[in-house]
Amino acid sequence: MIDRVKKFFDRKDLPKIFTLIKFVAGLVAHNFIQKFLSLITAFMMWFFVMEAQDPTIEGSYDVAVMTSNNPYERFVTCEEKTINVKTLAPRSYFVKYDANAFRAYANLEGLGEGRHEITPQIVMPQGFEFVKSDPPVVHVMIDSFAERQLPFELVTKGNVSADNAIKAVTKSMEIVTVMGPKSMVEQVTRIYGTLTLANNKASFETQIPMKAVDANNNPVVGVRVVPSVVTVEVELESGVAKKIVPVVAELTAADGWEVTKVTVEPAQVEITGAESVVNSIVTLKTNPITVQTGQRSFRNKIRLDVPDGVTVKDDEVTVSAEIVRKTFVREPFSNEIVTDDTSTKPDTPATDTSSTDTN
Protein backbone atom coordinates (compact mmCIF):
# COMPACT_ATOMS: atom_id res chain seq x y z
CA MET A 1 0.00 0.00 0.00
CA ILE A 2 2.85 2.39 0.89
CA ASP A 3 4.58 1.58 -2.37
CA ARG A 4 1.46 2.48 -4.35
CA VAL A 5 1.22 5.85 -2.59
CA LYS A 6 4.92 6.56 -3.37
CA LYS A 7 4.47 5.64 -7.00
CA PHE A 8 1.44 7.96 -7.26
CA PHE A 9 3.36 10.96 -5.95
CA ASP A 10 6.42 10.06 -8.06
CA ARG A 11 4.39 10.37 -11.25
CA LYS A 12 5.65 13.06 -13.63
CA ASP A 13 2.11 14.14 -14.64
CA LEU A 14 1.00 14.79 -11.05
CA PRO A 15 1.32 18.58 -11.32
CA LYS A 16 -1.02 18.52 -14.31
CA ILE A 17 -3.66 16.63 -12.30
CA PHE A 18 -3.52 19.14 -9.49
CA THR A 19 -3.71 21.95 -12.00
CA LEU A 20 -6.90 20.38 -13.50
CA ILE A 21 -8.50 20.02 -10.08
CA LYS A 22 -7.70 23.59 -9.23
CA PHE A 23 -9.25 24.72 -12.51
CA VAL A 24 -12.49 22.84 -11.90
CA ALA A 25 -12.71 24.16 -8.36
CA GLY A 26 -12.28 27.65 -9.69
CA LEU A 27 -15.13 27.21 -12.12
CA VAL A 28 -17.44 26.04 -9.34
CA ALA A 29 -16.42 28.80 -6.97
CA HIS A 30 -16.79 31.55 -9.57
CA ASN A 31 -20.30 33.04 -9.31
CA PHE A 32 -21.36 30.17 -7.01
CA ILE A 33 -24.58 31.81 -5.81
CA GLN A 34 -25.79 32.49 -9.34
CA LYS A 35 -25.00 28.93 -10.37
CA PHE A 36 -26.78 27.50 -7.33
CA LEU A 37 -29.88 29.60 -8.00
CA SER A 38 -29.80 28.52 -11.63
CA LEU A 39 -29.75 24.89 -10.52
CA ILE A 40 -32.73 25.40 -8.21
CA THR A 41 -34.61 27.22 -10.97
CA ALA A 42 -33.92 24.40 -13.42
CA PHE A 43 -35.17 21.83 -10.94
CA MET A 44 -38.38 23.78 -10.33
CA MET A 45 -38.96 24.16 -14.06
CA TRP A 46 -38.47 20.43 -14.49
CA PHE A 47 -40.97 19.76 -11.70
CA PHE A 48 -43.63 22.03 -13.21
CA VAL A 49 -43.09 20.59 -16.67
CA MET A 50 -43.45 17.05 -15.36
CA GLU A 51 -46.54 18.05 -13.39
CA ALA A 52 -48.07 19.48 -16.53
CA GLN A 53 -47.19 16.39 -18.55
CA ASP A 54 -48.13 13.87 -15.80
CA PRO A 55 -50.66 15.60 -13.53
CA THR A 56 -52.17 14.04 -10.41
CA ILE A 57 -55.64 12.75 -11.18
CA GLU A 58 -58.32 10.68 -9.47
CA GLY A 59 -58.96 7.15 -10.64
CA SER A 60 -60.64 3.99 -9.40
CA TYR A 61 -60.16 0.25 -9.46
CA ASP A 62 -62.54 -2.67 -8.83
CA VAL A 63 -60.59 -4.66 -6.25
CA ALA A 64 -61.39 -8.22 -5.16
CA VAL A 65 -62.18 -8.57 -1.45
CA MET A 66 -60.25 -11.20 0.52
CA THR A 67 -60.52 -12.28 4.15
CA SER A 68 -57.68 -12.69 6.62
CA ASN A 69 -57.37 -14.36 10.04
CA ASN A 70 -60.30 -16.67 9.29
CA PRO A 71 -61.68 -18.53 12.36
CA TYR A 72 -60.72 -22.19 12.56
CA GLU A 73 -63.21 -24.70 11.13
CA ARG A 74 -65.73 -22.05 10.14
CA PHE A 75 -67.33 -21.16 6.84
CA VAL A 76 -66.65 -17.58 5.77
CA THR A 77 -68.78 -15.88 3.12
CA CYS A 78 -68.29 -12.28 2.01
CA GLU A 79 -71.37 -10.75 0.39
CA GLU A 80 -69.33 -8.20 -1.58
CA LYS A 81 -67.00 -9.91 -4.03
CA THR A 82 -65.38 -6.64 -5.15
CA ILE A 83 -65.28 -3.03 -3.98
CA ASN A 84 -64.51 0.14 -5.92
CA VAL A 85 -61.36 1.87 -4.60
CA LYS A 86 -60.85 5.54 -5.52
CA THR A 87 -57.28 6.88 -5.42
CA LEU A 88 -55.12 9.88 -6.33
CA ALA A 89 -51.90 9.41 -8.33
CA PRO A 90 -49.99 10.74 -11.36
CA ARG A 91 -51.69 9.90 -14.61
CA SER A 92 -48.89 7.59 -15.70
CA TYR A 93 -49.46 5.39 -12.61
CA PHE A 94 -52.93 4.44 -13.81
CA VAL A 95 -51.37 3.19 -17.02
CA LYS A 96 -48.61 1.36 -15.21
CA TYR A 97 -50.76 -0.45 -12.59
CA ASP A 98 -53.98 -2.45 -12.89
CA ALA A 99 -56.43 -3.77 -10.28
CA ASN A 100 -54.22 -6.80 -9.55
CA ALA A 101 -51.72 -4.49 -7.85
CA PHE A 102 -54.29 -3.60 -5.17
CA ARG A 103 -55.55 -5.65 -2.23
CA ALA A 104 -58.65 -5.30 -0.04
CA TYR A 105 -58.66 -7.36 3.16
CA ALA A 106 -61.46 -7.99 5.65
CA ASN A 107 -59.78 -8.80 8.96
CA LEU A 108 -61.79 -11.42 10.89
CA GLU A 109 -59.53 -11.63 13.93
CA GLY A 110 -61.52 -12.16 17.13
CA LEU A 111 -64.93 -12.41 15.41
CA GLY A 112 -67.45 -15.15 16.19
CA GLU A 113 -70.38 -16.65 14.32
CA GLY A 114 -72.87 -14.32 12.71
CA ARG A 115 -73.03 -11.46 10.23
CA HIS A 116 -70.42 -8.72 10.63
CA GLU A 117 -69.77 -5.30 9.07
CA ILE A 118 -66.05 -4.79 8.46
CA THR A 119 -64.13 -1.82 7.09
CA PRO A 120 -61.72 -3.29 4.53
CA GLN A 121 -58.00 -2.61 4.72
CA ILE A 122 -56.67 -1.33 1.39
CA VAL A 123 -53.10 -2.08 0.27
CA MET A 124 -51.86 0.01 -2.70
CA PRO A 125 -48.63 0.47 -4.65
CA GLN A 126 -46.34 3.30 -3.57
CA GLY A 127 -47.33 6.64 -5.08
CA PHE A 128 -51.10 6.15 -4.73
CA GLU A 129 -53.17 8.10 -2.22
CA PHE A 130 -56.36 6.44 -0.91
CA VAL A 131 -59.55 8.52 -1.25
CA LYS A 132 -62.45 6.20 -0.40
CA SER A 133 -63.97 2.80 -1.11
CA ASP A 134 -67.48 2.01 -2.28
CA PRO A 135 -69.06 0.46 -0.29
CA PRO A 136 -67.13 1.67 2.76
CA VAL A 137 -67.83 -1.59 4.63
CA VAL A 138 -68.24 -5.22 3.60
CA HIS A 139 -70.57 -7.81 5.13
CA VAL A 140 -69.10 -11.13 6.17
CA MET A 141 -71.02 -14.16 7.44
CA ILE A 142 -69.18 -16.58 9.71
CA ASP A 143 -70.93 -19.93 9.93
CA SER A 144 -70.47 -23.28 11.56
CA PHE A 145 -70.93 -26.53 9.66
CA ALA A 146 -74.42 -28.03 9.51
CA GLU A 147 -76.22 -30.83 7.71
CA ARG A 148 -79.84 -31.95 7.29
CA GLN A 149 -81.55 -34.98 5.85
CA LEU A 150 -84.47 -34.24 3.55
CA PRO A 151 -86.64 -36.25 1.17
CA PHE A 152 -86.34 -35.29 -2.47
CA GLU A 153 -88.94 -35.21 -5.19
CA LEU A 154 -88.84 -35.88 -8.90
CA VAL A 155 -90.12 -33.34 -11.38
CA THR A 156 -91.13 -34.88 -14.69
CA LYS A 157 -90.21 -33.07 -17.89
CA GLY A 158 -91.53 -34.32 -21.23
CA ASN A 159 -93.53 -37.45 -21.96
CA VAL A 160 -93.04 -41.05 -22.93
CA SER A 161 -94.29 -42.31 -26.28
CA ALA A 162 -98.01 -42.13 -26.96
CA ASP A 163 -98.40 -45.93 -26.78
CA ASN A 164 -96.73 -46.27 -23.38
CA ALA A 165 -97.25 -45.12 -19.84
CA ILE A 166 -95.14 -45.03 -16.69
CA LYS A 167 -95.97 -48.02 -14.55
CA ALA A 168 -93.52 -47.42 -11.72
CA VAL A 169 -90.60 -45.19 -10.77
CA THR A 170 -88.01 -46.69 -8.43
CA LYS A 171 -85.47 -44.49 -6.66
CA SER A 172 -82.18 -45.79 -5.31
CA MET A 173 -82.92 -43.81 -2.13
CA GLU A 174 -85.61 -41.55 -0.68
CA ILE A 175 -83.53 -39.32 1.62
CA VAL A 176 -80.51 -37.17 0.77
CA THR A 177 -78.25 -35.02 2.95
CA VAL A 178 -77.67 -31.32 2.42
CA MET A 179 -74.56 -29.89 4.09
CA GLY A 180 -72.66 -26.63 4.24
CA PRO A 181 -72.75 -23.33 6.17
CA LYS A 182 -75.49 -23.35 8.79
CA SER A 183 -77.26 -20.21 7.53
CA MET A 184 -77.34 -21.63 4.00
CA VAL A 185 -78.52 -25.09 5.04
CA GLU A 186 -81.41 -23.53 6.98
CA GLN A 187 -82.61 -21.80 3.80
CA VAL A 188 -83.12 -25.10 1.96
CA THR A 189 -86.81 -26.04 1.87
CA ARG A 190 -86.87 -28.44 -1.05
CA ILE A 191 -84.59 -30.79 -2.93
CA TYR A 192 -85.60 -32.05 -6.32
CA GLY A 193 -84.33 -33.69 -9.48
CA THR A 194 -85.67 -33.45 -13.02
CA LEU A 195 -86.66 -36.69 -14.72
CA THR A 196 -86.46 -35.99 -18.44
CA LEU A 197 -88.69 -38.05 -20.70
CA ALA A 198 -88.09 -38.04 -24.46
CA ASN A 199 -90.78 -40.20 -26.06
CA ASN A 200 -89.32 -43.27 -24.40
CA LYS A 201 -90.66 -46.59 -25.69
CA ALA A 202 -88.96 -48.91 -23.21
CA SER A 203 -88.07 -48.99 -19.53
CA PHE A 204 -84.83 -47.22 -18.68
CA GLU A 205 -82.47 -46.21 -15.87
CA THR A 206 -80.95 -42.77 -15.45
CA GLN A 207 -78.80 -40.63 -13.12
CA ILE A 208 -80.57 -37.48 -11.89
CA PRO A 209 -78.66 -34.52 -10.33
CA MET A 210 -80.08 -33.13 -7.10
CA LYS A 211 -80.79 -29.41 -6.64
CA ALA A 212 -81.42 -27.53 -3.39
CA VAL A 213 -83.79 -24.51 -3.48
CA ASP A 214 -85.33 -22.12 -0.96
CA ALA A 215 -88.97 -21.22 -0.30
CA ASN A 216 -89.03 -19.04 -3.43
CA ASN A 217 -87.64 -21.86 -5.56
CA ASN A 218 -84.30 -20.07 -5.93
CA PRO A 219 -81.10 -22.19 -5.89
CA VAL A 220 -79.26 -22.09 -2.56
CA VAL A 221 -75.59 -21.54 -3.30
CA GLY A 222 -72.85 -22.71 -0.97
CA VAL A 223 -74.49 -26.01 0.02
CA ARG A 224 -73.77 -29.53 -1.18
CA VAL A 225 -76.25 -32.35 -1.64
CA VAL A 226 -74.96 -35.85 -0.86
CA PRO A 227 -75.24 -37.85 -2.99
CA SER A 228 -75.22 -35.30 -5.79
CA VAL A 229 -76.96 -37.73 -8.17
CA VAL A 230 -79.59 -40.39 -7.56
CA THR A 231 -80.27 -43.45 -9.70
CA VAL A 232 -83.87 -43.69 -10.91
CA GLU A 233 -85.38 -46.65 -12.73
CA VAL A 234 -88.46 -45.98 -14.84
CA GLU A 235 -90.66 -48.94 -15.78
CA LEU A 236 -92.96 -48.46 -18.76
CA GLU A 237 -95.91 -50.50 -19.90
CA SER A 238 -98.05 -50.38 -22.99
CA GLY A 239 -101.54 -48.98 -22.65
CA VAL A 240 -102.36 -45.48 -21.50
CA ALA A 241 -105.36 -44.46 -19.43
CA LYS A 242 -106.74 -41.02 -18.62
CA LYS A 243 -109.00 -40.02 -15.80
CA ILE A 244 -110.43 -36.85 -14.26
CA VAL A 245 -110.21 -36.80 -10.48
CA PRO A 246 -111.09 -34.15 -7.87
CA VAL A 247 -108.34 -32.25 -6.05
CA VAL A 248 -108.28 -32.23 -2.24
CA ALA A 249 -106.40 -29.45 -0.48
CA GLU A 250 -104.35 -30.60 2.51
CA LEU A 251 -104.60 -27.50 4.71
CA THR A 252 -104.20 -27.39 8.48
CA ALA A 253 -104.19 -24.54 10.98
CA ALA A 254 -102.54 -23.95 14.34
CA ASP A 255 -104.15 -25.03 17.60
CA GLY A 256 -107.31 -23.08 18.32
CA TRP A 257 -107.95 -22.30 14.64
CA GLU A 258 -109.71 -24.16 11.85
CA VAL A 259 -109.76 -23.94 8.08
CA THR A 260 -113.11 -23.19 6.40
CA LYS A 261 -114.48 -22.34 2.97
CA VAL A 262 -111.73 -24.15 1.09
CA THR A 263 -111.81 -23.80 -2.69
CA VAL A 264 -109.43 -25.27 -5.25
CA GLU A 265 -108.87 -23.92 -8.75
CA PRO A 266 -109.17 -26.06 -10.81
CA ALA A 267 -111.30 -28.37 -8.71
CA GLN A 268 -110.50 -31.33 -10.97
CA VAL A 269 -107.49 -32.38 -13.01
CA GLU A 270 -106.86 -34.97 -15.65
CA ILE A 271 -104.28 -37.61 -14.82
CA THR A 272 -102.52 -39.83 -17.33
CA GLY A 273 -100.63 -43.04 -16.75
CA ALA A 274 -100.71 -46.78 -16.86
CA GLU A 275 -104.20 -48.15 -16.60
CA SER A 276 -103.39 -50.20 -13.51
CA VAL A 277 -102.13 -47.09 -11.74
CA VAL A 278 -104.75 -44.59 -12.88
CA ASN A 279 -107.69 -46.84 -11.95
CA SER A 280 -106.52 -47.02 -8.35
CA ILE A 281 -106.54 -43.23 -7.88
CA VAL A 282 -109.76 -41.69 -6.52
CA THR A 283 -108.57 -38.19 -5.59
CA LEU A 284 -105.40 -36.17 -6.00
CA LYS A 285 -104.13 -34.34 -2.91
CA THR A 286 -101.94 -31.28 -2.61
CA ASN A 287 -98.76 -31.21 -0.61
CA PRO A 288 -99.63 -30.54 3.06
CA ILE A 289 -99.52 -26.89 4.12
CA THR A 290 -99.89 -25.42 7.62
CA VAL A 291 -101.36 -21.90 7.64
CA GLN A 292 -99.44 -19.41 9.75
CA THR A 293 -100.90 -18.32 13.08
CA GLY A 294 -102.98 -15.14 12.84
CA GLN A 295 -103.53 -15.43 9.11
CA ARG A 296 -107.28 -14.92 8.53
CA SER A 297 -107.30 -15.69 4.81
CA PHE A 298 -105.18 -17.90 2.63
CA ARG A 299 -104.63 -17.94 -1.12
CA ASN A 300 -101.60 -19.51 -2.70
CA LYS A 301 -100.40 -21.94 -5.33
CA ILE A 302 -99.70 -25.41 -3.96
CA ARG A 303 -97.98 -28.26 -5.73
CA LEU A 304 -99.93 -31.47 -6.26
CA ASP A 305 -98.73 -34.69 -4.68
CA VAL A 306 -98.61 -36.66 -7.92
CA PRO A 307 -97.99 -40.40 -7.46
CA ASP A 308 -95.16 -42.09 -9.32
CA GLY A 309 -96.19 -43.26 -12.75
CA VAL A 310 -98.81 -40.52 -13.16
CA THR A 311 -98.50 -37.25 -15.07
CA VAL A 312 -100.65 -34.12 -15.05
CA LYS A 313 -100.62 -31.15 -17.39
CA ASP A 314 -100.05 -28.68 -14.55
CA ASP A 315 -98.82 -29.86 -11.15
CA GLU A 316 -99.93 -26.71 -9.27
CA VAL A 317 -103.38 -25.54 -8.19
CA THR A 318 -104.59 -22.35 -6.50
CA VAL A 319 -106.06 -22.93 -3.03
CA SER A 320 -108.15 -20.36 -1.16
CA ALA A 321 -109.50 -20.64 2.39
CA GLU A 322 -110.57 -18.70 5.46
CA ILE A 323 -109.16 -19.34 8.92
CA VAL A 324 -111.38 -18.79 11.95
CA ARG A 325 -111.16 -19.50 15.64
CA LYS A 326 -112.57 -22.80 16.78
CA THR A 327 -115.93 -22.68 18.55
CA PHE A 328 -115.95 -24.57 21.83
CA VAL A 329 -119.33 -25.99 22.98
CA ARG A 330 -119.74 -25.97 26.75
CA GLU A 331 -121.93 -28.37 28.71
CA PRO A 332 -125.18 -26.68 29.99
CA PHE A 333 -125.08 -25.67 33.66
CA SER A 334 -128.06 -26.72 35.85
CA ASN A 335 -129.23 -24.85 38.96
CA GLU A 336 -131.30 -27.81 40.25
CA ILE A 337 -130.38 -28.90 43.78
CA VAL A 338 -130.18 -32.59 44.20
CA THR A 339 -131.30 -33.83 47.61
CA ASP A 340 -131.46 -37.16 49.36
CA ASP A 341 -135.07 -38.54 49.19
CA THR A 342 -134.65 -40.45 52.40
CA SER A 343 -134.07 -37.29 54.37
CA THR A 344 -137.18 -35.43 53.13
CA LYS A 345 -139.89 -38.05 52.99
CA PRO A 346 -142.06 -38.54 56.20
CA ASP A 347 -141.78 -41.76 58.03
CA THR A 348 -144.20 -44.35 56.73
CA PRO A 349 -145.48 -46.95 59.16
CA ALA A 350 -144.53 -50.45 58.34
CA THR A 351 -147.24 -52.63 56.90
CA ASP A 352 -147.97 -55.89 58.69
CA THR A 353 -147.95 -58.47 55.99
CA SER A 354 -148.93 -61.29 58.32
CA SER A 355 -152.38 -62.84 57.83
CA THR A 356 -155.26 -61.97 60.29
CA ASP A 357 -157.66 -64.45 61.71
CA THR A 358 -161.18 -63.34 60.86
CA ASN A 359 -162.91 -65.97 62.82
Residues 138-168: tens digit of each pLDDT: 999 999 999 999 999 998 888 878 777 788 8
Answer yes or no: are the C-beta atoms of 143 and 74 closer than 8 Å: yes
Q: Which residues contact 223 (CB under 8 A, 6 or more apart)?
A: 178, 179, 180, 181, 184, 185, 188, 212
| 15-19, 32-36, 228-232, range with the lowest pLDDT | 15-19
Averaged pLDDT for residues 50-65: 82
pTM value is: 0.51
Hey, CA dihedral for 201, 203, 207, 213, is it positive or negative? Answer: positive
| Domain 240-325 homologous superfamily, CATH | YbbR-like domain (2.170.120.40)
For the chain, domain boundaries: 56-143, 145-238, 240-325
List the alpha helices (DSSP H) in 159-303: 182-185, 275-278
pLDDT higher than threshold 70 for residue 103? yes
> For residue 274, what pLDDT band results from cuts at 50, 70 and 90?
confident
pLDDT higher than threshold 80 for residue 24? no
pLDDT higher than threshold 50 for residue 352? no
Residue-level pLDDT at 213: 95
Domain 145-238: state its class: mainly beta
> For residue 45, what pLDDT band results from cuts at 50, 70 and 90?
confident
| CB hemisphere CA count around 208 (13 angstroms) | 29
Rg (CA), the chain: 46
Answer yes or no: are the C-beta atoms of 103 and 82 closer than 8 Å: no
Residue-level pLDDT at 28: 65
Mean per-residue pLDDT over the chain, rounded: 82
Of 207, 201, 208, nearest in space to 235 by CA: 201
Residue-level pLDDT at 2: 61
Answer yes or no: are the C-beta atoms of 320 and 248 closer than 8 Å: no
> What's the start-to-end Cα distance of the chain, in Å?
187
Answer yes or no: are the C-beta atoms of 166 and 273 closer than 8 Å: yes
Averaged pLDDT for residues 220-237: 91
* Fold equal for 56-143 and 240-325: yes
In CATH, 56-143 is 3.50.30.50: no
